[in-house]
Amino acid sequence: HMVRLSLRSSRPHGDRAPSRGTQPSGGPPASAAPMDSSSQSPPAGGDPSEDGAAAELPRLTVTQVEQMKVEARVADIYRVLFDAAPNAKSVMLELWRDQHVEYLTKGLRHLAPSFHVLDANRPWLCYWMVHGLAVLDETLDDDLENDIVDFLSRCQDKHGGYGGGPGQLPHLATSYAAVNTLVTIGSERALSSIKRDNLYKFMLLMKDKSGAFRMHDGGEIDVRACYTAISVASLVNILDDELAKGVGNYIASCQTYEGGIAGEPSAEAHGTLFVGWLQWSCLMKWRNSICLA
């Protein structure tokens, strides 16, 4: 059975989301986030001390206001879903498969100019779209598959690792995206395009004396770098004791008093990083079981 993922609100298509001046049910009032204090008039006859206290309240940024509007809209959609009859929910949660396939396939061939801001993330765009098609059990045609392999080959640095685009600095994050794209495609041509020896050398260069990895030459050292390096190395079967040495100890040092894992020692715990730690542990246990066998 297909898992249905997308939400489709019962609101008629002609309706719009609540405007800036209205308050969605259950959401924060849009008027609670003034962007310019000069547009507000103090209440006549008010207590001066109250005015002073209000002036000390922090103003919300544009991003915070937009985030509040999104949260209110999502909450509105969930309320519609929860209140719907059981037979209506199956329609509201319908996955528009054909539209998804068309959108992803079109994106692999051509992206709008607005995507230029993601110029350093093009392997990620390949990964997101190829992975989405794989989840939908959709295959790529030969020409498109070859185009993707050719493009990612141009992103591969001659000394190892993949950059965000041709000629860009190799980076562990875009290496993760590129390798996972090629493995998802899974053809002989895609897999053989990965220069594993150079990739291994690149990862050794990114290895820090703490046991962790840095994302790129001179880049940040964190749990994200550890996960992408170990995951890719395991995926293409180049993971050895030298790459794995000290990684577990570094990640353990990132655990906070709350029990979660931070991106780096002494930082705030983050749920996603904890998941990365668990995935790393599973990779190492799997590798050890293979070695013991």
Which tens digit of pLDDT belongs to each residue from 188-209? Answer: 999 999 999 999 999 999 999 9
Higher pLDDT, 20 or 135: 135
Residue 245 corresponds to which amino acid?
Answer: K
How far is 160 from 205, CA to CA, in rounded Å?
Answer: 10
Give all strands (DSSP E) within the chain, no chain letters: 261-262, 269-270
Question: What pLDDT does residue 63 have?
Answer: 84
Residue 209: Cβ within 10 Å count = 6
Question: What pLDDT does residue 104 have?
Answer: 96
Distances (CA, A) of 231 to 70, 147, 161, 223, 256: 33, 25, 14, 12, 23
Residue 187: Cβ within 10 Å count = 14
How far is 184 from 176, CA to CA, in rounded Å?
Answer: 12
Residue 42 pLDDT greater than 80, yes or no: no
User: Which of 194, 192, 201, 158 has the alpha carbon at shortest distance from 176?
Assistant: 194
Average pLDDT over residues 19-27: 43
SS3 5: coil
pTM above 0.85, yes or no: no
